[in-house]
Amino acid sequence: MLRKNELLEIKAFLMEMKKEILQNLEEKIKSNDMSEQREIGDIFDDADLEQSREFNLLLTTRERQKLDQIESALSKLETGEYGYCEDCDEAIPVGRLRAMPFATLCVNCKSERESLEGTPSAYVEEKG
């Protein structure tokens, strides 16, 4: 079970990661000169941003994946579902969450899934 300060710590970390990705994207938009009339500042407030063409063109698959994971972790933090294994509902140890804030499975279920799917997540991690 995560304590409130631990949740806040993880939330802050996730927000920081999200900011980094968006800042990275902002840099790309600037250098690609694709923004044209678009105000860069709007990007953080744009609710439809993730559906926008620019956004999808400029983000790498990896960044998009990461952003998805961040969003889903953040929404779980909001609903109080964060920190529980999706498969067995066991609480994921805080040490694991600190190391991997997007972990949605406990170590056991994760290795079980990997052996079932035959695609270790490291493969996805190292691509791109």
- Residue numbers of the site for Zn ion (CB under 5 A)? 85, 87-88, 106, 109
Sign of torsion over alpha carbons 45, 51, 52, 58: positive
Q: Which is nearer to Zn ion, 25 or 104 (CB)?
A: 104
Closest distance between Zn ion and the C-beta of residue 75, in Å?
20
Instruction: Using DSSP, state whether 84 is helix, strand or coil.
Output: strand
Closest distance between Zn ion and the C-beta of residue 99, in Å?
16
Q: Which is nearer to Zn ion, 59 or 83 (CB)?
A: 83
Sign of torsion over alpha carbons 17, 22, 25, 27: negative
Q: Which is nearer to Zn ion, 63 or 86 (CB)?
A: 86
Q: Which is nearer to Zn ion, 10 or 103 (CB)?
A: 103
Closest distance between Zn ion and the C-beta of residue 86, in Å?
7
**63 burial type by CB count under 10 A (0-12 exposed, 13-18 middle, 19+ buried):** middle
**DSSP class of residue 91?**
B
Closest distance between Zn ion and the C-beta of residue 13, in Å?
22
